[in-house]
Amino acid sequence: MFERNGRGGAAFALVLLASFALACGALKNLGGGNSLAEANKLVQEANNELKDVDRIAEDSETKLDALNKADDKGDSAEVKRLLDELIKAIDDGLKHGETAADKIEKASKMEVDDKYKEYLSLKSQSLRKQVEAFKERKEAAKIMRDNYDNSDKTAMQKAKDDFKKKNSNYKKLLGEAKDLSRKA
């Protein structure tokens, strides 16, 4: 009787040990131990960068209103000054956006759960598309600044056409970024 219980107990202990080992392995794959903590830290740092981007965007809204008013008044000096400020704001936002995308991408390459990796990878791709979109927006702003109130009608028409193209690219890229973000 002792032997049978002993074998049964040993078999039960082996099953428990195997289950425990499998569970630990699954937790390691899911959490990645320190990798998950490091990935989460990078994600938090990226979120802080994106908060800076949001702040810059909010500050720029008042400049856009002022830009429209200056344009309505025909104040070309003020329009150009405000476009310069907006271009600088876009540059600042681009730096924060690129840093955030880099951090998310780095987190996506760490030893974390595959679903989390996929999510982070898609978020990184989405951020990169947004950065690309805002580069187009910056180019559009430069075109308008450099050609605003140009007396050469042909040059002004070319600038307007270039602006429309850049703005169209901006909207297209932003749409692609939103699609990637939705997939995540």
What are the tens digits of pLDDT across the range 47-63?
999 999 989 988 888 88
Residues 118-147: what's their mean pLDDT?
93
pTM over 0.85: no
Here the tokens at position 81 are 């000054």
In a domain, 119, yes or no: yes
Query: Where is 46: in which H helix or E strand?
Result: helix 34-73
Over pLDDT 90: what percentage of the chain?
52
Looking at residue 148, its pLDDT comes to: 82
CA–centroid distance for 176 within its chain: 12
Query: 70: domain range?
Result: 34-183
In a domain, 4, yes or no: no
In a domain, 131, yes or no: yes
Distance (Å, whole) CA 60 – CA 133: 17
Distances 39 to 26, 30, 66, 129 between C-alpha atoms, Å: 18, 12, 41, 21
Tell me: pLDDT of 20 over 90.
Answer: no
Name the average pLDDT for the chain: 82
Residue 149 makes CB contacts below 8 A (sequence gap 6+) with 76, 79
In a domain, 154, yes or no: yes
Here the tokens at position 63 are 């400049």
Is there a contact between 134 and 90 (Cβ–Cβ < 8 Å)? yes
Please, which pLDDT band fits residue 123 given cuts at 50, 70 and 90? very high
Please, which pLDDT band fits residue 87 given cuts at 50, 70 and 90? very high
In a domain, 17, yes or no: no
Tell me how many domains the chain contains: 1
DSSP letter, residue 151: S
In a domain, 2, yes or no: no
In a domain, 11, yes or no: no
CA atoms within 13 A on the CB side of 8: 5
Please, which pLDDT band fits residue 16 given cuts at 50, 70 and 90? very low
In a domain, 24, yes or no: no
Could you read off the pLDDT of 141-182 as tens digits, one per residue?
Answer: 999 898 887 678 888 788 888 888 998 998 999 899 999 989
Q: What is the amino acid identity at position 183?
A: K
